[in-house]
Structure 1
């Protein structure tokens, strides 16, 4: 109907009566008892002329507002059993089609309910986003609550499982840092966790016990090692340990001293490389013949040492090892030789001395009685008798030296100032050899007490000074005749250095000069230095043969050093005769 009216919009402006007839026809065609054209204020413009008239009631303002959007507005009047509609006509300016029609009250009621339902639906439709948002928020909230509850439950369950594991981890770290007394508490309800904790505690307890056993074993081995080291250090034998390949794995201090090599340069090296003289000892050990072997070593100065060597073989598991023990018997052999020479000297002195006296007396008697009566070659007679007497005197002095060597007096120890004894001895030699310059130097200002036999020390020093003087006389190329005696003290040792400008000592095998009857002089007996060595041995001292300090300048000379153990300084008597030279 609205479409038809829009098409006939021009007729309303040209002929209002004709248009009203057209509107009436349209209303009759559709059985609409009321069809009106009104403006937006509800004022009537024209109306259809129908038989069944319905009282006009202007539509509410809300209907005008709603119909402007282009959609018809349907209104039901339940009390009057009417349906009214309002629609804007697009071809008219501000004109609205307003119709009304009576219907069955039930239809109206259904329409009203439908309208209410529609309104509710629209209301709900307009609130759908809010409802969806509300439901979404509720869902999210419930989901979060469930999630938090699940997390809380999971954390509780995980904590129940992880807490004992964490304690085990912390305990393991403590154990790894060395705290083996660490234990974990076993108070959970999980049987597996309890078993794991119990096993961990058993493990740490065993580790603690094993560590204690290892520490005890280490301490025991350390004590045994220290004891062994003390034994090896304290014994008078050199000890060298070898492995199966003959390489050195241990050497005590005495072995290092005898061999002249420190342990750092010995360990790990083959024995035949360090000590070639010991190369055949392993063959002796493998031959199962246990016997001592004498081996002779020479140092860089040509001095020889005699070693009494024994070798033993053992096993450490499957590996063989060897232990070489050796003693320096050089002094023992020297002492035995000295004792043998002393016995020989005593016998020679006894056998020779008996006929010397009658020979000398007979020669002197022949000279005194027949010197004037011999007319044939009296000079030859005199020369022969004097030669006999002189040679008997020389033999007598030699026998006296033999006797002195064979019957060395016992040492009588007493405390005295060694400066007096040295000063007096030097003074006597200076008087005996005025052509030689004797210089006595003492590095100490105070007393130098010593516990020794002053007579034997003077005798030993006299022998050295005599040898020095004789060496100077034999040196035809000497620039000066000088003997320097230096007395010095270092810690607990008092040393006497005697240096001369003589021909010096041989470069090779000097120590042999300390043996009896070994000499470099044509008419020497070889007993002077032997007596000195015997005196030093009886006093627990040492004698050292070397070169004089000026040998470095190209000159010749020897230096002999006597070393004695000193005593604490105390007041000792001084000799009334003392000369500072």
Structure 2
């Protein structure tokens, strides 16, 4: 066997994606890890899971950082996809497979993100709808209305009592100036009559001129603020609703009393005011949430979209790396198979153990090409030997005066010597591959006997052959041969005995003539 130079496909071939520059892949993986860590930290900050307060500047900073990382990853993916598109257009090995692998990876990564996005959006919308539906809003508003109605009722009641008391006290100015003790008694009587626990005559600077408290255990009485005096300057009563205290009061200017004011107050039940304050705070929070509902949904959507995009882009980049590792050995096999398809069997692919089953496939391919090289060498040697023997046989048969035909098991002519061509007056091209009884009908009977009697090795007969206007007497001998390679075959020998028959006839007639002459 001739020695051939073995061509080994390089481990790193010119590929559309990934192997262009090793540093790009490493930079992409590092950037992917950084992006994943950043987006998880951002999510923790924005959801209040850390000590960092999610202020507006913090939110913008996280969005900018994640946006920059996202743009960088998308740029790397764009460069890779552009290279893949160019390779696919150029028809490079495994480019279509590379596209499919990346497409499947991207679809597998994108489908769960899209499904979760839809489910999360629907869930958030339905959850917020239950909080902000008309029935819930009516309940909240009703609670606020009950509290307001309670305070309004007490405010109206104390306002009416204060105005009536101011009218009665206003008539007793002379008593206030001349007999203060009797005036204090009048104030106490007015308070008991109208159910007011405390009443005061105040100067416009807040100085208490007269103090009347009929409830001894009420010590923490809240006086009106300075702005209340200005509001009551026109003579209209000013109702002071409960703030941080549990009391409601009314301040009214006494007509003709030279800047003096009547201040009447009444405590409210703290067991009622506590829930009322909580209800008001809850209503305020509820209305604020209702107003910021769209903003909350938008913020949640932005957070989710950012996280999903980062994970999606990271998955696509990881898919590109996986596709590179998967397609690279397949690409080498495709290139080697192209060489083999063109008849160059002296080719091998490198075996990399870390590629697993693909490494075993490369070993199998190398074994196959080695076996094919050996078998082709053996076939070439056998063909050369057969050609040599055929040339020798043809040379021998060319020197034989008898016609010789080779016939296979189906009766087709496979071998013709020169004597048979001359005897049958037919060229070799017209005989090869045709059935013998078609080109030589005279031997049909003996050929059928030979085909029908496989146990009989030789059949012989004498026929008359008319070719080119000349009748010949031919002795036909068919010998059967059985070989392992081609099965059953026949050797047809044609001996032209025309001259011999003519001589025998002449000799016979001469003998007959001698006998007739002898008798005469």
TM-score interval (norm. to shorter)? 0.3 to 0.5
Relative to the length of structure 1, the TM-score reads 0.35
Higher helix share: 2
Relative to the length of structure 2, the TM-score reads 0.38
Structure number with greater CO (CA < 8 Å, separation at least 6) is: 2
Greater gyration radius: 1
Higher strand share: 1
